[in-house]
């Protein structure tokens, strides 16, 4: 698990612990700018940038208002 903490990306399992909603609800939040957008590491392997998720966790309202 120490390797996951140093990775610049967070995989679905980590995100589900932080943002416990359905994948479809998370996709809607991403599309609305309320949650960081996923990136593709490989086909069928989505991930989120750790720096974006950390910024979102620090202040979700500011994240939604950013340009």
Domain definitions of the chain by residue range: 2-65
Of 67 and 29, more confident: 29
| Tens-digit pLDDT profile for residues 14-57 | 999 999 999 999 999 999 999 999 999 999 999 999 999 999 99
At 43, list the tokens: 């086909």
Beginning with the edge strand found earlier in the chain, give each strand of the sheet holding 9-11 in spatial order.
9-11, 45-49, 38-42
**Predicted local confidence at residue 47, as pLDDT:** 97
- Whole-prediction pTM: 0.84
CA angle 62, 65, 67 (to 5 degrees): 120
Burial code (b: 16+ CB inside 10 Å, e: under 16) for 29-42 equals beeeeebbebeeee
């Amino acid at each position: 698990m120490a390797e996951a903490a140093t990775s610049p990306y967070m995989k679905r399992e980590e995100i589900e612990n932080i943002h416990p909603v359905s994948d479809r609800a998370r996709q809607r939040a991403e599309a609305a700018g309320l949650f960081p957008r996923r990136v593709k590491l490989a086909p069928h392997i989505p991930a989120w940038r750790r720096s974006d998720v950390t910024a979102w966790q620090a202040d979700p309202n500011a994240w939604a208002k950013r340009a």
